[in-house]
Amino acid sequence: MKTYKRELAVLLILWLVYIVEVKDVAIIEILVWPVFSFAAAAFGFDQYSKLQQATKSSNRGNQRSSQRTGGEDKYPDLGDDK
């Protein structure tokens, strides 16, 4: 499911560039922090989630089986001594 956070962040930055060219400095001082905070959060959270998914997928390949290559169980049932 796509949320379009990054696309909205790019649009907000482009809108801020337009505002810088057209409006007064006072309005820019008010708008710069929310726009850049949203953009940083949108791109930062996206990168963080991608790193978490990459870490999960790489850890799945490194898990060892509970059986040894010789066919012996790693933890044999101790009640089978007859």
Token pair 């696309």: residue: 7
Task: List CB contacts of 75: < 8 A, sequence separation 6 or more.
Answer: 66
Token pair 């989630």: residue: 49
- What share of the chain in percent tops pLDDT 90? 40
Tens digit of each residue's pLDDT (9 = 90 or more) over 11-50: 999 999 999 999 889 999 999 999 999 999 998 888 888 8
Task: Give the SS3 label for residue 73.
Answer: strand
Distance of CA 55 to the CA centre of its chain: 11
What are the residue boundaries of the structural domains of the chain, listed by start?
5-53
Task: Tell if the pTM clears 0.75, that is, is over it.
Answer: no
DSSP 8-state code for residue 68? -
* Residue range 53-71: mean pLDDT, rounded: 64
